[in-house]
Amino acid sequence: MNETVGRTLLPIKLTIGQRLKRELIRHGPLYLLALPGVVYLLLFSYLPMSGLVLVFKNYNFKDGIFGSPWAGFDNFKFFYSSIDLAIRSTSNTVMLNILFFVFTTIAAIAIAIMLNEIRSKLVVKLTQSAIFLPFFISWIVIGSVLFAMLDFKNGVINRVLDYVGLQPIDWYSNAYLWIPILVIANVWKGMGYSSIIYLAVITGFDNSVYEAAKIDGASRVQQIFKITIPLLGPTIIMLFLLSVGNMLKGDLSMIMGLTYLNPLLLPVTDIIDVFVYRSAVKTGEFAFASAISLYQSVVGLLLIIGANKLAGWYDRDSKLF
């Protein structure tokens, strides 16, 4: 009896198999819940990365991806062979993505705040459904509606302008008119989806903060600008960090659906994806297209790392990693 007094009990060392078995017993349902997402990620994100070897190959259909001769970095040269077009497509992509994020965020936050102020649940559901509906509409359909509105001869807008005595506008010949058009179309289509995220965050705020502000005499508008919007700051930063990785990737279907790749509009609409489609995909040069896709991904990764570091300087808790 006395010999056991003060004796230290050593932890039992488990083998890897025993630890794995115990972990599966404890958290098996959680692993099963995550399994479909993991399988999807492996099949559609990691497994296709083996095709990156195409970037460094002189691809031809006869030999296939792995049998084609090596080309080194030659596939990257076509993008920079015309430096003016490369700079134009890159700047257009970054400019449009920044405008899309800024104005969509503003519209989504405004919608989320307005929905949060509505007390009728039925009105909230109907309004939210109506705002969310454009997210499911194809860009081709939106482009057809837009053409009916902006056509020079028979467009609705030009007919109204002509009716009030103003000169019609040739929308499809003036490239710089399409910067606000693209922004408005993107905001209209995506603000409903983004507002769901902000509304979910707003509904989770502590009501005692608003009650304290009421006691101090703050109006509803003051509560929105002094409490709601500042509390949304971490969410805005997080969504911005998630969007930074796609800053060099454009929506090809959007540009094709709305502008039909009109050459007169290319000074504004010639984003990287459009440039690659016109220069490589249509001619069957898939190695060139893959090279630019790798370039976009690598630069996107660097942007995420840099933006995450900047976010950490602003607010340590807002960093993604």
What's the rounded mean pLDDT across residues 42-70? Answer: 83
Residues with Cβ within 8 Å of 55's Cβ and at least 6 positions away in sequence, in order, are 75, 287, 290, 291, 294
Top mean pLDDT of 131-135, 286-290, 306-310 is at 131-135
Of 32, 78, 41, 40, the C-alpha closest to 58 is: 78
Are 152 and 168 in contact by the 8 Å Cβ rule? The answer is yes
pLDDT per residue as tens digits for the range 200-244: 999 989 889 999 999 989 998 999 999 999 999 889 988 888 888
Task: Tell me how far the alpha carbon of residue 79 is from its chain's centroid.
Answer: 24
Number of Cβ within 10 Å of residue 57's Cβ equals 22
Q: How far is CA 130 from CA 179, 183, 229, in A?
A: 26, 20, 24
pLDDT per residue as tens digits for the range 131-143: 999 999 999 999 9
Higher model confidence: residue 321 or residue 190? 190
Distance, in Å, from the CA atom of 7 to the CA atom of 12, rounded to the nearest integer, reads: 15
Quote the pLDDT of residue 50: 80
**For the chain, percent of residues with pLDDT exceeding 70:** 95
Block residue for tokens 């509803």:
220
Are 268 and 178 in contact by the 8 Å Cβ rule? The answer is yes
Structure confidence at residue 1 as a pLDDT band (50, 70, 90): very low
CATH 1.10.3720.10-classified regions of the chain: 74-318
Higher model confidence: residue 300 or residue 198? 198
What's the rounded mean pLDDT across residues 250-278? Answer: 90
Quote the pLDDT of residue 155: 92
Ranking 65-79, 145-159, 179-193, 294-308 by mean pLDDT, the lowest is 65-79
Q: Please say whether the structural domain 74-318 has been given the CATH code 1.10.3720.10.
A: yes
